[in-house]
């Protein structure tokens, strides 16, 4: 019995350490930023990046659930963000008269953005997740492009007669005093900026809670089992497509929530903002942070968003240095000798690696 | 077949009737008839390529049979999926070990409880009381299984880091977690030394008695097969060559011919 309890405590420690570290990281970063903001020592450029950073962190945590934990490549995370963003903007615009306070409206908008993105994820997942292989990557890539085109041609407005919607600009007419929510390729204009860094940080913590609670549960084990060995997973009674769907939909919902927060942080937002490059950028955050490693994802997202800004003084060489830093990080994190040294710094003793 | 008149009194847990499968023009299994009764250890042997693993894949619905019927627990299994058949009570191990390599040994066993102790993802995300109760139960039961298979000291190792013999035992533990009535073992002693094989034989007997399940096993190690199987079915070229007790099989001229040639 003594041996049993020691096994449990060691096991529990190992699992909890990573979890606690990421929560501690977020909270410490939040306090540090708040102190810097209060003392006014944070430049306007950095303070304007705070909300976008939290958005990308949430989207990247979601993507890591799908790519790292579930092992399915998704090249359309920005597409889900844009669904969330424009849904959030519309919801906020519609509710502007009935709920004047910013925070409750923001929370409702984030919630709606997450739900709508999850619905889109579910619809895409039905046919695709029954297949094996790289089909999800291809379909999500196409989804990102299609959703961008849809938003570039969508006109949504609200007036005294209610909500108006059209894909043809000439058919679209609003009563005087009506408000344009989505104006085709111009995107959303005149959005009330109700997003703030505190809500963003809370959203990051919620995203971490959702992903970790899922990971260390029956569903999470099933997701990882389906990733590691599909045939064996089925043989112990795990339905593969339903399991992969859970990871994919959760990932899409987190991207939708992140998108809604992002959209409500700017007065104008064009659909082109969420293009293929953005999807790839989020994927880079995930791969660089480490597949399945949420703490790593948070760090890499923050570093890779701040890096181009910090390198601004280098002007033309900026993206060159950015690329070199990317390659260096890849090399270092793939170096086994360095990684074992790094890990032994924390754990103190090497165990289970034989 | 004549030796189990007493067993015919009760229905077999597994009843295979005229089972056959063709891959294109190749007939891999044909006219297979076999029964496994509660609490029995039955061996399925035959030369390489005789179709033994194909039979396992037919029983677990990885392949759909071309001909014949498989009754499990008295019910026709036609149209069931791999997942359904596991829920119905057939669990298996694999000839080429298939563990969840990145999961810990303990988590590998826990995956086996997927349908035995279920709770929803919402329960997990919201950490409702049911989550803690279920996880506690899963943890205890998984540790018990690891103890039986003598793997408890490896509980928090990564599964892919286990020694070979331990990986085979872990597959058995994971299969047992799904609470089966029939356990299919595909070459459980492959790659084990004589001492490990002897321990494995004791484990299989213990598992059968402790969980009150039937075991059907494919094995090339004749010492193991003759040592623990109560009945043996011999396959050759996908056809049933002989069936009977270990003594009958050992003295069967057809079997000797199939193994040693003319």
**CATH number for the domain that contains residue B206:** 3.40.50.300
Cα–Cα distance between A230 and A237 in angstroms, integer?
A: 11
pLDDT of residue A11: 45
- A218 and B119 within 8 Å at the Cβ level: the answer is yes
- A231 and B62 within 8 Å at the Cβ level: the answer is yes
Residue A37 has pLDDT above 90, yes or no: no
3-state secondary structure of A292: coil
Cα–Cα distance between B144 and B94 in angstroms, integer?
A: 22
Write out chain B residues lying below 8 Å of A218, CB-based: 110, 113-114, 117-119, 124, 134, 138
Least confident of A142-146, B7-11, B138-142: B7-11
Mean pLDDT of A315-331: 82
Phi and psi, residue A257, nearest 5°: -60, -45
Question: How many structural domains is chain B composed of?
Answer: 1
- Share of chain A residues as helix, strand and coil, in percent rounded to the nearest 5: 75, 5, 20
Write out chain B residues lying below 8 Å of A69, CB-based: none
In chain A, domain spans? 22-295
User: For the segment B16-30, what is each residue's pLDDT rounded down to a tens digit?
Assistant: 999 999 998 888 999
pLDDT of residue A13: 53
CA distance A223 to chain B (A): 10
Mean pLDDT of A259-288: 91
Name the residue facing A352 among B100, B115, B157 (closest C-beta): B157
- B134 and A218 within 8 Å at the Cβ level: the answer is yes
Mean pLDDT of A189-204: 89
List the structure tokens of B198.
């002897």
Mean pLDDT of A302-322: 83
The share of chain B scoring above pLDDT 70, in percent, equals 96
Cα–Cα distance between B117 and B140 in angstroms, integer?
A: 12
Write out chain B residues lying below 8 Å of A237, CB-based: 83, 86-87, 114-115, 178
**Average pLDDT over chain B, rounded to an integer:** 90
Residues in chain A whose beta carbon is closer than 8 A to a beta carbon of chain B? 3-4, 7-8, 10-11, 14, 209-210, 213-214, 217-222, 224-225, 227-229, 231-239, 246, 352-354
Residue A354 has pLDDT above 60, yes or no: no
pTM for this one? Answer: 0.88
A155-159, strands of its sheet edge to edge:
A162-166, A155-159, A179-183
**Searching chain B, which residue's CA lies closest to the CA of residue A352?**
B157
Q: A69 with B100: CB under 8 angstroms?
A: no
Query: Which parts of B178-244 fold into alpha helices (H)?
Result: 194-211, 222-228
B70 forms bridges with which residues in the sheet? B16
Give, in order, the Cα–Cα distances in Å from B151 to each of B144, B171, B173, B206: 10, 11, 9, 15
Least confident of A168-177, A288-297, B5-14, B93-102: B5-14
Residue B260 has pLDDT above 90, yes or no: no
- A213 and B125 within 8 Å at the Cβ level: the answer is yes
Q: With cut-offs at 50, 70 and 90, classify the pLDDT of residue A1.
A: very low
Q: With cut-offs at 50, 70 and 90, classify the pLDDT of residue A348.
A: low
Q: Which helix (H) or strand (E) holds B260?
A: helix B253-260
DSSP secondary structure, B6-44, as one string:
TGGGS--SEEEEEEEEEETTEEEEEEEEEEE-TT-EEEE
pLDDT of residue A336: 78
Q: A247 with A66: CB under 8 angstroms?
A: yes
Q: Which domain holds residue B186?
A: 2-260
Cα–Cα distance between B244 and B228 in angstroms, integer?
A: 14
Residue B129 has pLDDT above 90, yes or no: yes
Write out chain B residues lying below 8 Å of A68, CB-based: none
Helix axis angle for A102-128 and A135-152, nearest 10°, is 130
Name the residue facing B114 among A10, A227, A236 (closest C-beta): A236
Residue A306 has pLDDT above 50, yes or no: yes
- Share of chain B residues as helix, strand and coil, in percent rounded to the nearest 5: 45, 25, 35
Residue B8 has pLDDT above 60, yes or no: no
| Closest CA relative to residue A140, chosen from A63, A242, A69, A60 | A63
Note the maximum CA span of chain A: 78
Most confident of A125-129, A214-218, A323-327: A214-218
CA distance A228 to chain B (A): 5
pLDDT of residue A14: 58
List the structure tokens of B214.
């039937």
**Average pLDDT over chain A, rounded to an integer:** 86
pLDDT of residue A340: 80
- A224 and B100 within 8 Å at the Cβ level: the answer is yes
Least confident of A159-173, A181-195, B193-207: A159-173
Domain boundaries A22-295, corresponding CATH code = 1.10.3470
**Searching chain A, which residue's CA lies closest to the CA of residue B98?**
A232
Q: B71 with B17: CB under 8 angstroms?
A: yes
Residue A10 has pLDDT above 50, yes or no: no
Given its phi and psi angles, is residue A315 left (phi above 0), alpha (psi -120 to 50 degrees) or beta? left
Q: With cut-offs at 50, 70 and 90, classify the pLDDT of residue B6.
A: low
Residue A70 has pLDDT above 80, yes or no: yes
Q: With cut-offs at 50, 70 and 90, classify the pLDDT of residue A100.
A: confident
B244 forms bridges with which residues in the sheet? B232
DSSP secondary structure, A143-178, as one string:
HHHHHHHHHHT-EEEEETTEEEEESSGGG----TT-
Q: A333 with A289: CB under 8 angstroms?
A: no
List the structure tokens of A6.
């020691």
pLDDT of residue A167: 81
Cα–Cα distance between A196 and A236 in angstroms, integer?
A: 46
pLDDT of residue A3: 39
Query: How many residues in total does chain A contain?
Result: 354
3-state secondary structure A22-57: HHHHHHHHHHHHHHHHHHCCCCHHHHHHHHHHHHHH
pLDDT of residue B200: 92
Q: A84 with A109: CB under 8 angstroms?
A: no
pLDDT of residue A338: 78
User: For the segment A101-117, what is each residue's pLDDT rounded down to a tens digit?
Assistant: 888 999 999 999 999 99
CA distance A63 to chain B (A): 17
Q: With cut-offs at 50, 70 and 90, classify the pLDDT of residue B262.
A: low
* Neighbour tally for A171: CB within 10 Å: 9
Q: With cut-offs at 50, 70 and 90, classify the pLDDT of residue B2.
A: very low
Give, in order, the Cα–Cα distances in Å from A40 to each of A37, A46, A47, A51: 5, 11, 10, 17
């Amino acid at each position: 019995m003594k041996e049993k309890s020691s096994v449990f405590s060691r096991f529990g420690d190992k699992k909890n350490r990573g979890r606690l570290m990421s929560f501690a990281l977020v909270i410490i970063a939040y306090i540090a930023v708040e102190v810097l903001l209060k003392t006014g020592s944070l430049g306007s450029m950095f303070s304007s990046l705070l909300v976008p950073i939290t958005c990308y962190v949430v989207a990247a945590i979601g993507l890591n659930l799908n790519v790292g934990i579930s092992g399915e490549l998704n090249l359309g995370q920005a597409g889900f963000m844009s669904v969330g963003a424009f849904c959030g903007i519309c919801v906020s615009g519609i509710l502007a008269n009935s709920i004047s306070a910013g925070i409750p409206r923001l929370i409702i908008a984030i919630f709606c953005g997450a739900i709508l993105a999850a619905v889109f994820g579910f619809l895409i997942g039905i046919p695709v997740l029954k297949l094996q292989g790289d089909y999800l990557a291809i379909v999500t890539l196409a989804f990102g492009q299609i959703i961008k085109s849809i938003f570039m041609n969508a006109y949504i407005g609200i007036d005294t007669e209610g909500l108006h919607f059209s894909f043809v600009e000439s058919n679209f007419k609003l009563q005087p005093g009506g408000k344009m929510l989505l104006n085709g390729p111009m995107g959303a204009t005149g959005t009330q900026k109700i997003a703030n860094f505190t809500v963003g940080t809370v959203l990051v913590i919620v995203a971490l809670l959702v992903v970790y609670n899922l990971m260390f549960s029956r569903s999470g084990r099933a997701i990882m089992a389906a990733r590691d060995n599909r045939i064996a997973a089925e043989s112990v009674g795990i339905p593969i497509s339903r399991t992969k769907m859970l990871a994919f939909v959760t990932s899409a919902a987190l991207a939708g929530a992140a998108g809604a927060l992002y959209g409500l942080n700017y007065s104008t937002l064009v659909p082109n903002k969420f293009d293929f490059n953005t999807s790839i950028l989020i994927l880079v955050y995930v791969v660089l942070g480490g597949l399945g490693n949420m703490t790593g994802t948070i760090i890499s997202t923050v570093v890779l968003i701040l890096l181009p800004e910090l390198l601004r003084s280098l002007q033309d060489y900026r993206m060159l240095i950015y690329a070199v830093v990317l390659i260096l990080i890849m090399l270092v994190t793939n170096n086994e000798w360095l990684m074992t040294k790094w890990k032994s710094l924390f754990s103190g003793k090497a165990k289970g690696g034989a | 077949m004549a030796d189990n008149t007493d067993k015919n009194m009760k229905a077999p847990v597994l009843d295979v009737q005229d089972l056959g499968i063709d891959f294109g023009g190749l007939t891999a299994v044909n006219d297979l008839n076999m029964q496994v009764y509660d609490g029995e250890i039955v061996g399925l042997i035959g030369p390489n390529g005789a179709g033994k693993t194909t039979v396992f894949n037919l029983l677990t619905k990885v392949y759909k049979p071309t001909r014949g019927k498989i009754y499990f627990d008295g019910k026709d299994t036609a149209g069931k999926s791999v997942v359904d058949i596991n829920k119905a009570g057939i669990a298996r191990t694999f000839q080429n070990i298939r563990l969840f390599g990145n999961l810990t040994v303990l988590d590998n066993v826990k995956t086996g409880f997927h349908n035995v102790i279920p709770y929803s993802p919402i329960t997990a995300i919201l950490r409702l009381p049911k989550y803690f109760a279920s996880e506690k139960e899963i943890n205890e039961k998984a540790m018990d299984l690891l103890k039986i298979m003598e793997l408890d000291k490896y509980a928090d190792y990564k599964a892919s880091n286990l020694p070979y013999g331990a990986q085979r035992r872990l597959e058995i533990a994971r299969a047992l977690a799904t609470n089966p009535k029939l356990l299919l073992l595909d070459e459980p002693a492959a790659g084990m030394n004589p001492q490990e094989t002897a321990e494995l034989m004791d484990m299989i007997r213990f598992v059968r008695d402790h969980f009150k399940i039937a075991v059907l096993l494919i094995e090339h190690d004749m010492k193991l097969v003759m040592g623990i199987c109560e009945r043996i079915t011999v396959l050759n070229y996908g056809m049933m060559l002989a069936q009977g007790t270990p003594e009958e099989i050992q003295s069967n001229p057809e079997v000797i011919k199939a193994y040693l040639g003319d």
